[in-house]
Structure 1
Amino acid sequence: MKMKPTMSIYSLITILLLCSSLVSTMAAQTVEESLATKMKKKKGSSSSSQPKRRDSVTCYNRRSKCFLKHITCPNECPEIKPKYSNSKACFLDCYSPKCEAVCRMRKPNCNGSGAACYDPRFIGGDGIVFYFHGKSNQHFALVSDTNLQINARFIGHRPAGRTRDFTWIQSLGIVLGTHSFTLEATKAEKWTDEVDHLRLTYDGYPLTLPEGHYSKWGSRSSSGNGMIRVERTSRRNSVLVILRDVAEIFVNVVPITEEDNLVHNYQIPNNDSFAHLEVQFRFIELSPEVEGILGRTYRPDFKNPAKVGVEMPVVGGDEEYRTSSILSPDCKNCVFSIGKSNLSAPKIPMEFGTIDCTKMDGCRK
């Protein structure tokens, strides 16, 4: 007896055709997906390789060679105010002979011209490194000009057996015209970066500067913006102080670290981190009569007494530059006069170059 086939030849052919169609469809989808993935990667790669949008900078001072010229920032620092505080920012020096945007950090460079850091180590306007020790809990004039007075209060510690104090700059007092501004590092038993150790005043009143990168404050006058502006350059403990058309001051508050204590044998007590300031000044214009521990180094006729080649060249001046308070311009060599109009006084335009004084024997432009 013959068995009937369970599937006809036509049914088998139909199934084979359906399977072939399904395989073709799946293969086409796979190719299409592969092409789409490649296109997406190519597009992503193309967009990531494109340079970031670059800011432009300009100057609004009519005396500047860059007045109202729009200069594009370099690729290396495309933003005037980068998101991260440790990134270089785009900057246009309105008073430089070169009208070009450059990159720079928004923190003090302790190896650059105008720096005052450590146990105070200064780098003068002439590029020469020198030390000025002063005395603990006393005030000294860093800069005294016809319209500007900048004093510093020193804190210090003298271990048993030493003949002098270790000293650091704890605060700055600035008198500009008839207005005053102070900036100080507050005492901290144990240092923490999570606490802001800056205290500010303007014309004798406490000044509140909210925490946060780029938080800012500016003085006001009857004619609009005032002469002093303060801007944070990190969330806490770092600021830029701008004295309009006069100077810029970069400031950090830092402690004496355990490593510093061991290396230099400071022997600081356990209940004080000796929070102090690292400072770098950038002056726009100064008079030929400018005085002060740092200010005199910007005079065209100044001969620095610091001995080149000496490991720690110390200069004197305690008696000549000691002041009675953080805001008093009463040192023996001070030239500032409160309330005196100095608009007609001759000024020396500062020439700015990149100076990095990493050697103890000084440096030159």
Structure 2
Amino acid sequence: MFYFHGKKDKDFCLVTDPDLHINGHFIGKKSTKGRDFTWVQSIGILFGPNQLYIGANKVSDWHDTTDYMHIQLNGQDVIIPTGDSETWLSSETGVSIKRVGPANAIVLEIAGSFKVTARVVPITQEESRIHGYDIMSDDCFAHLELGFKFNSLSSSVNGVLGQTYAPGYRTQVKMGAPMPIMGGNHKFSSSHLFSTDCAVSRFGLNHDADELDDLPMVACGGDSGARGMVCKR
């Protein structure tokens, strides 16, 4: 487990591989205690010629039954029928999206490639009070809790999460610390959500001979008391 703070209102590469690139857009609040509080508001997924957006709309008053998730495929809004297990399919791109519950939770999959689980959640007033987030009533900082499952990645994979899958990877995080922090903002910073211009970008490059198969699930999102994105295998 480790934390990656990034920086509020900036974009960072989460995974980059020859056929797949995922960036995250971070929102946040200034903190008087050191690092800013940050959360992932949206992700931009590039696969082949396609661009897929999953994001949380800005919300003031949260209602569990209202859907605050916004999804776009190649710039067009994706409208999923309401209701648990309702599914939307794109035969052209191979994308399938299924609702998990009536609102704010989906499972997105491209068969044989990857799966993403995404849930929109707010920062509650009680959480704000306990952890000193200073969240105001005009914005509950709705953000994404994410899970990733990759069917195959090349051995050159990189990114905040992607690097941990590379053969021979050795973490630089101090795992004995109460809050182990992954640095490297300069390496993973992207100019916008669908940009592949981070320093470690692999998107569009030639494949390595080896591929990594049957990879474990990684979960990313907020955590009680956390400042930044927490990632766990």
Q: TM-score, normalised on structure 2?
A: 0.89
- Of 211, 214, 226, the match for 1:347: 211
Cα distance in 2 for residues equivalent to 1:345 and 1:179? 24
Q: Structure 1 segments of 4 or more deviating over 4 A?
A: 351-355
How far residue 178 of structure 1 moved from its aligned partner, in angstroms, is: 0.8
Cα distance in 1 for residues equivalent to 2:38 and 2:165? 24
- Of 22, 25, 37, the match for 1:166: 37
Contact preservation (8 Å) 2:125, 2:135:
no
Structure 1 204/301 Cα, relative in aligned 2: closer, same or farther at 3 Å?
Answer: same
Q: What is the SS of the residue equivalent to 2:5?
A: coil
Cα distance in 1 for residues equivalent to 2:155 and 2:197? 19
Cα distance in 1 for residues equivalent to 2:206 and 2:184? 28
Cα distance in 2 for residues equivalent to 1:282 and 1:131? 19
How far residue 244 of structure 1 moved from its aligned partner, in angstroms, is: 2.1
Q: Which residue of 2 aligns with 1:284?
A: 151
Structure 1 residue 156 and structure 2 residue 23: aligned? no
Structure 1, gaps ≥5 residues long: 1-128
- Looking at secondary structure, tell me which structure has more strand per residue: 2
Structure 1 353/187 Cα, relative in aligned 2: closer, same or farther at 3 Å?
Answer: closer
Q: Which residue of 2 aligns with 1:41?
A: none
Q: Which residue of 1 aligns with 2:85?
A: 214
Contact preservation (8 Å) 2:160, 2:188:
yes
Contact preservation (8 Å) 1:134, 1:154:
yes
Structure 1 287/190 Cα, relative in aligned 2: closer, same or farther at 3 Å?
Answer: same
Q: Matched residue pairs, number?
A: 224
How far residue 263 of structure 1 moved from its aligned partner, in angstroms, is: 2.1
1:1-365 superposed matches below 5 A: 129-159=1-31, 161-221=32-92, 226-337=93-204, 345-352=209-216
Q: Could you say which structure has the greater relative contact order, defined with CA pairs below 8 angstroms and 6 or more residues apart?
A: 2
How far residue 153 of structure 1 moved from its aligned partner, in angstroms, is: 0.3
Structure 2, gaps ≥5 residues long: 220-225, 227-231
Contact preservation (8 Å) 2:27, 2:40:
yes
How far residue 155 of structure 1 moved from its aligned partner, in angstroms, is: 0.5
Q: TM-score, normalised on structure 1?
A: 0.58
Q: What is the SS of the residue equivalent to 1:256?
A: coil
How far residue 351 of structure 1 moved from its aligned partner, in angstroms, is: 4.6
Contact preservation (8 Å) 1:286, 1:350:
no
Q: What is the SS of the residue equivalent to 2:140?
A: coil
Amino acid at match of 1:155: I
The percentage of aligned residue pairs carrying the same residue is 34
